[in-house]
Chain A
Amino acid sequence: EVQVVESGGGLVKPGGSLRLSCAASGFNISTFIMNWVRQSPGRGLEWVSSISDNSHHIYYADSVKGRFTISRDNAKNSLYLQMDSLRAEDTAVYYCARDLTSGWDGGNYWGQGTLVTVSS
Chain B
Amino acid sequence: RKEVEQDPGPFNVPEGATVAFNCTYSNSASQSFFWYRQDCRKEPKLLMSVYSSGNEDGRFTAQLNRASQYISLLIRDSKLSDSATYLCVVPPLNDYKLSFGAGTTVTVRA
Q: Do A and B bind each other?
A: no
